[in-house]
Amino acid sequence: MTETAPTSALPDPLGTGVPAPAQGPVPDRPAAPPSAGRWSRDLRFMLVVLAAIVALFLAFALLVAFAPNGAAISALAIIAAPIATMVAAYYGISLALKQVADAREAAETADARARAAETSARESDAWAAQMESGLRVAVAKLRDAGRDTSDVERAAGTPAEFF
């Protein structure tokens, strides 16, 4: 997230009583990466997978130790199928929650950028208005002094009927 510098901190370039706007966003200190939450999510998934592998290993060991026949293999399949389904469901839910969190973070970042762009546009408009006002004042003072303003008008790039 970025903050804009306060406009009162900048000098008044034209002496109009209105300070100059900030020249752009001032970056905040970088945020710490959210590694703790991510590690926790990854650790939980790893523990679920390890628990499923251990349960399947124990079931297979019991099968080999006691009765390696067709009925025992069918029983192992009955045990393994729900475990694999639960692991897959947990992974799917974890992935969906991660995507929701990432989307929420992206939306907040986009909103902050939009607010910063809007603030910058307002400050640019104010700066342009100050510059236009200062230019008009300078041309008026030059004309009052009986000086030629064509050089100022050309340098400003304004049309002839601007003043």
Residue from 57, 53, 110, 44 nearest 84 by CA: 53
pLDDT of residue 156: 78
pLDDT of residue 1: 46
In angstroms, the CA 134 to CA 67 distance is 96
Residue-level pLDDT, tens digit, the chain, 163 residues = 444 444 444 445 445 554 544 554 544 545 555 555 566 777 877 788 888 888 888 888 887 788 778 877 787 888 788 888 888 888 888 889 889 999 999 999 999 999 999 999 999 999 988 988 888 888 888 888 888 888 887 777 777 677 6
Q: Are 138 and 158 in contact (CB under 8 A)?
A: no
Give start and end residues of each alpha helix (H) in 9-69: 35-66
pLDDT of residue 9: 45
| Domain ranges within the chain, ordered by starting residue | 36-162
> Dihedrals φ, ψ of 97, to 5°?
-65, -40
pLDDT of residue 115: 96
